[in-house]
Amino acid sequence: RDYHSQHRELLVELVTNSPDDFQLPDGVDIETYVSVLYGALVGLHMQWRLAPDLVDLEAGMAALEAIAISASANPVTPAEQDA
Amino acid 71: pLDDT: 67
Which residue stretches of the chain have pLDDT < 50? none
Amino acid 78: pLDDT: 55
Amino acid 30: pLDDT: 85
Amino acid 20: pLDDT: 67
Amino acid 53: pLDDT: 96
Three-state helix/strand/coil letters over the chain: CHHHHHHHHHHHHHHHCCCCCCCCCCCCCHHHHHHHHHHHHHHHHHHHHHCCCCCCHHHHHHHHHHHHHHHHHCCCCHHHHHC
Amino acid 49: pLDDT: 96
